[in-house]
Amino acid sequence: MIISVASGKGGTGKTTVAVNLALSLENAQLLDCDVEEPNAHIFLTPDIRERKPCFVSVPEIDQKKCNFCRKCSKACEFNAIAVLEDNVLIFPELCHSCGLCALVCPKKAITEKKRRIGVVEKGSSNGIEFVQGILNIGEAMSTPLISAVKEEIDKNKIAIVDVPPGTSCPVIEAVHGSDYCILVTEPTPFGLYDLKIAIGVLEKLKIRKGVIINQDGIGDQEVEEFCKKNGIQILLRIPYDRKIAELYSKGIPFIQEMPEWKEKFKEVFEKIKKDR
């Protein structure tokens, strides 16, 4: 089973939920797909055993063959190629590696070369198989690296995917193929607003979903009322608790110091299995 942990905004507690859920289950695998700023490793302190670079393909121009016809630049939807009177400029950070420029080139002057955008790291911690992606600083696109991280999913394990915040392309890539998505929110107007957007995305993707309310007690009841009105299951409520916050600030998963929560996260998994 692949369970993604997402939210409509940052700071709701996605990583807290993903890490504690993974630690509560047997035979679990945690994949940190928040590749622009991965932080699950802070809580798990895994032993990294393997590092693999992630590459994307970008065009390379043979200036001797090129006749500067501009067909490649006109075909490129992402403005990654600019053809001047006697030169061709490539903007690799904008390239989506679709290969269309090479297909339309009448002189076969375009080939592809590899460009490194980040690294995939694999290791283990507390019996959990751990995978994370680390995007190079300055890279504009994270989806190829997220895809590379997800290639490491072990179908014989319960895969927990820590999804990037928001509802943009990296989120779509991370949640795609999930059997279930946990949406972590906070009981505030901001939390509800972004939760609605995230739910809309999952409905388009036809992915089953449930909600965990984090910092329960700090705001109002509108999130809970919205979920009840729309038939969305509330899987768990994590209270606004000083001890949980202190453990988080020290990089300690709170189930390690508050073992009663381990059973609660196991119950979350049982609810997910029954929601079919």
Terminal CA-to-CA distance of the chain, rounded, Å? 12
At residue 8 the predicted structure's pLDDT band, cuts being 50, 70 and 90, is confident
114 in any annotated domain: no
- The CATH number given to whatever domain includes residue 158 is 3.40.50.300
Does 119 score more than 70 pLDDT? yes
* One domain, residues 98 and 207: no
Sheet holding 158-162, edge to edge: 47-61, 110-125, 128-135, 28-32, 158-162, 2-6, 180-185, 208-216, 234-239
Q: Where are the beta strands (DSSP E) in 62-185?
A: 81-83, 88-90, 110-125, 128-135, 158-162, 180-185
At residue 276 the predicted structure's pLDDT band, cuts being 50, 70 and 90, is low
Average pLDDT over residues 229-254: 95
CA–CA distance, 99 with 228 (Å, rounded to integer): 47
* One domain, residues 84 and 184: no
Does 9 score more than 90 pLDDT? no
The pLDDT, as a whole number, for residue 117 is 96
Total domain count for the chain? Answer: 2
* One domain, residues 86 and 148: no
- % of the chain surpassing 90 pLDDT: 92
- The CATH number given to whatever domain includes residue 81 is 3.30.70.20
At residue 127 the predicted structure's pLDDT band, cuts being 50, 70 and 90, is confident
Does 135 score more than 70 pLDDT? yes
164 in any annotated domain: yes
Does 87 score more than 90 pLDDT? yes
* One domain, residues 91 and 203: no
* One domain, residues 28 and 83: no
CA–CA distance, 223 with 229 (Å, rounded to integer): 10
At residue 131 the predicted structure's pLDDT band, cuts being 50, 70 and 90, is very high
DSSP β-bridge partners for residue 110: 61
Cβ atoms of residues 4 and 181 within 8 Å? yes
* One domain, residues 88 and 149: no
pLDDT tens by residue, 205-222: 999 999 999 999 888 899
pTM for the predicted model, two decimal places? 0.91
At residue 140 the predicted structure's pLDDT band, cuts being 50, 70 and 90, is confident
* One domain, residues 101 and 188: no
The pLDDT, as a whole number, for residue 219 is 84
**Phi then psi dihedrals of residue 140, to 5 deg:** -90, -25
Domain of 90 in residue numbering reads as 63-108
By the 10 Å C-beta count (0-12 exposed, 13-18 middle, 19+ buried), 103 is classed as exposed
Q: How far is CA 204 from the centre of its chain?
A: 17
Averaged pLDDT of the chain: 94
How far from 50 is each of 36, 124, 134, 150, 275, CA to CA, in Å? 19, 10, 13, 15, 36
Cβ atoms of residues 220 and 246 within 8 Å? no
Does 125 score more than 70 pLDDT? yes
H or E stretch including 30? strand 28-32
